[in-house]
Chain A
């Protein structure tokens, strides 16, 4: 089993270089999504009439997609566990399952948005819908980007290469999950 050495530890932090880089990426993501969501929250409190718009969003679709993302996080972390045992093939299988979750999420989103746009709710309808499409859209872009990177990592992992990257893409993926955990109550439950 050719378990390649993980990236050299940084002497100053004791964290493998790749993982430290992922934490820095997430630090910047916190500002991007945090600013967007905080901004939404402030506007929502100032615009009681947005309650009419939030009543239109479909809680069941939102809940189903939350379940999909939670499940994909579960398979991603199982992939990480398999990679640490040196089982690249198993890790790749889990990553492919996670990508299946990403595809499901995007398909459901496409169906959901298609119906909402057909009903006349577009990004320019009012402030709520602008936030709705911007926040969920930026999140969906992260899902798509994550799934693509995951495909590259999984292909390598299946051949036993760069197994430490399975953990790195997992950390990013869990973050995307966490963002949705907050988007779900903000856009779907708080009517």
Chain B
């Protein structure tokens, strides 16, 4: 029978509390990689301390460790063997339109878009560079369009749907841009306009990046924009280039 081992539990407990305090303080420094280390790095350290000292795995027979490790290994094998096929948004020969659309829908819009989600997002949207400016842009655009109230308003549509990735100024620096690879297109870049015709851009807007062999992170907007409206959008994008 395993002999009883009892380390200094009070010391371990205090260490755990201090580590908890560090993991809470981490995000206040405001550096992303520091937060990742203080959040997840410390979680692993804490979990290991609890497992070794409180669960006594440190003094347990090897077979128990093998049982747990085998379980974890099988989980990783089966999970990550399958997950990329069902959870990624696109593969070599397919694109998950619904997932991409959900991503686009969930991004804060100045006006309520799908059901209650946009309303939920608004209180949290502040602070990021894209969202506070978006309502202002939409309001300005609304004032402009009083002459033809039903006319398609490319500027408002851009602020609502495109700015989260492409940025309010169209420079490819939206809130979400950092998470995307490749980065969203920068419409202020002359090179961008040299390499594309209007027809290609209309096709990109309507069919998404995948339709023209570009990144599938660019969703298809054909359900929202007609071809004429996509053409209006291209005209608006050109105003962003200078």
Contacts and interface: CB of A to CB of B under 8 A. Distances in A.
Contacts of A59: 24, 27
Interface of B: 1-2, 4, 6, 9-10, 13, 16-17, 20, 23-24, 26-27, 35-36, 38-40, 42-43, 46-47, 50-51, 53-56, 60-61, 63-64, 67-68, 70-72, 74-76, 79-80, 83, 87-89, 99, 102-103, 106-108, 116-117, 119-121, 123-125, 164, 176, 179-180
A191 B27 contact: yes
A49 B13 CA distance: 37
A53 interface: yes
7 residue pairs, one from A and one from B, having the closest CB atoms: A49-B106, A185-B39, A27-B71, A48-B179, A55-B124, A74-B13, A189-B39
B107 A30 contact: no
B51 A23 contact: no
A166 interface: no
5 contacts: A13-B63, A49-B107, A125-B120, A126-B120, A178-B47
Contacts, number: 168
Contact of A38 (B24, B71, B79): B79
| A interface, size bucket | 35 or more
A77 B16 CA distance: 14
Contacts of B89: 46
Contacts of A67: 17, 20
Contacts of B87: 39, 42-43, 46
A63 B72 contact: no
